[in-house]
Amino acid sequence: MATCDMCGNEYDKTFTVTRSGETRTFDSFECAIHMMAPACAHCGCRILGHGVEGGEGIYCCANCAREAGHNDLVDRARQTPSG
């Protein structure tokens, strides 16, 4: 049995996640998310999707990016009127 790097639980169904050459062992996706998912540079929530990037930061949404001064980021593409 392996041990979860997040919570220390010994479990027979652990899995590994590798990111940027670093491999960690987990017993649940919850532990993997808590340890490895990036945090929003504005509000601190874990980013489970793509997020948005502005400057050196990654944000959970365009609103947080705008709050941090990245006014050019939006959550959806601007729509043009149908012709």
Considering only residues 35 and 80, tell me which one the structure prediction assigns the higher pLDDT. Answer: 35
27: burial class by Cβ within 10 Å (0-12, 13-18, 19+)? buried
Whether 7 shows a pLDDT value over 90: the answer reads yes
62 and 75, same domain (yes or no):
yes
Same domain, 32 and 59: no
* The predicted structure's pLDDT at residue 82: 63
Residues 42 and 30 in one domain: no
Tell me, yes or no, whether 6 and 31 share the same domain.
Answer: yes
Given pLDDT bands bounded at 50, 70 and 90, which one contains residue 79?
A: low
User: In terms of domains, do 23 and 50 share one?
Assistant: no
The tens digit of pLDDT for each residue in 23-70 reads 999 999 999 999 999 999 999 999 999 899 998 899 999 999 999 999
Pairing of strands 52-54, 10-11: unpaired
* Whether the Cβ atoms of residue 73 and residue 62 lie closer than 8 Å to each other: yes
Whole-structure pTM value: 0.74
Confidence of residue 22 (pLDDT cuts 50, 70, 90): very high
**Residue 81: pLDDT over 80:** no
